[in-house]
Amino acid sequence: MSAAIFIQDASEFETLRVNTALLVVDCTATWCGPCKVISPLIDQLAENYGDRAKVMKLDIDANKPIAKQFGLRSIPAVMFFKEGELVDTIIGVKSYEEFSATIDKHLLPASSTS
């Protein structure tokens, strides 16, 4: 497995969003210091969860309409989509455990959550 790769455009994002059971999108920018802090954590998520979730990165400067569509005002922002629906967003620098716990929560079968 390798690091999380960048989504190229809105069309690719939309295809991934509607066709992926669990999609994790790190919204980032080259000028964002805190984004650089979590980048290795996102790459680690991609490596550790690659068989169960798709972990991607999105440059918000190149994809402003997506950031606007989901009301992102701060980065880093990690969005979690389950079956195409936005189910969680984590804003700011957090620990690997916090990101992985959120993935784990959404990997659980729907019948076991209430």
- What does the mean pLDDT of the chain come to? 93
Out of 4, 24, 35, 46, the active site residue is: 35
**The predicted structure's pLDDT at residue 112:** 44
Which of 23, 24, 27, 32 is labelled catalytic? 32
β-strand 85-91 against 5-6: which pairing, if any? unpaired
Note if 27 is an active site residue: no
CATH number at residue 64: 3.40.30.10
> Is 114 among the domain residues?
no
Number of domains in the chain: 1
In the predicted model, residues of the chain with pLDDT beneath 70 are 1-2, 109-114
Whether residue 46 lies inside any domain: the answer is: yes
CB 54 within 8 A of CB 3: no
- What is the predicted pLDDT for the residue at 113? 42
pLDDT tens digits, 15-46: 999 999 999 999 999 999 999 999 999 999 99
DSSP letter for each residue of 6-18 = EP-SHHHHHHHHH
Q: What is the largest CA-CA distance in the chain?
A: 42
What is the C-alpha to C-alpha distance for residues 22 and 3, in angstroms, rounded to an integer?
Answer: 17
Half-sphere exposure of 93 (CA within 13 A, CB side): 9
The pLDDT value recorded for residue 2 is 65
